[in-house]
Amino acid sequence: QTVVTQEPFLSVSPGGTVTLTCGLSSGAVSASSYPSWYQQTPGQPPRTLIYSTNTRSSGVPDRFFGSVLGNKAALTITGAQTDDECDYYCILHLGSGLWVFGGGTRLTVL
């Protein structure tokens, strides 16, 4: 069974830059995995940040940037703000209509 991997915890200083990654337990992530990124704060629904590797969802500031770095998908946040402190999830398409979420990254801004 393929597992989608994310860093469980990351931290960034206010105003700083942080990169979250999304990998596969076997194989490399590519554009054909349609990597997407979601932000979730407690008690709120997910917010779509990025889909199809690097397309920002409506209203998402350009501080959030999606890419593929090496064999992983990546979400880079620049100019980190305290409001960015929450959980981030990636999801990958593994073919045959199957989507799998990563375990999530809890980002701390301090």
Partner 1 sequence: QVQLQESGPGLVMPSETLSLTCTVSGGSVRSDTHYWTWIRRPPGKGLEWIGDIHYTGIINYNPSLKSRATISVDTSKNHFSLELSSVTAADTAVYYCGSQTHLGFHDWGRGTLLTVSS
Contact residues: partner 1, CB under 8 A: 34, 36, 38, 40, 45-48, 51-52, 55, 57-58, 87, 89, 91, 96-104
Tokens of 22: 């999304």
Find the shortest distance in angstroms from Cβ 9 to partner 1.
13
Q: Identify which of residues 46 and 65 has a Cβ nearer to partner 1 in the complex.
A: 46
Give SS3 for 47: strand
Give SS3 for 33: helix
Find the shortest distance in angstroms from Cβ 54 to partner 1.
11
Q: Identify which of residues 38 and 64 has a Cβ nearer to partner 1 in the complex.
A: 38
Q: Identify which of residues 98 and 110 has a Cβ nearer to partner 1 in the complex.
A: 98
Q: How many CA atoms lie within 13 A of 108 on its CB side?
A: 5
Tokens of 81: 């703000």
Find the shortest distance in angstroms from Cβ 15 to partner 1.
28
Q: How far apart are CA 48 and CA 99, in angstroms?
A: 15
Tokens of 30: 């590519």
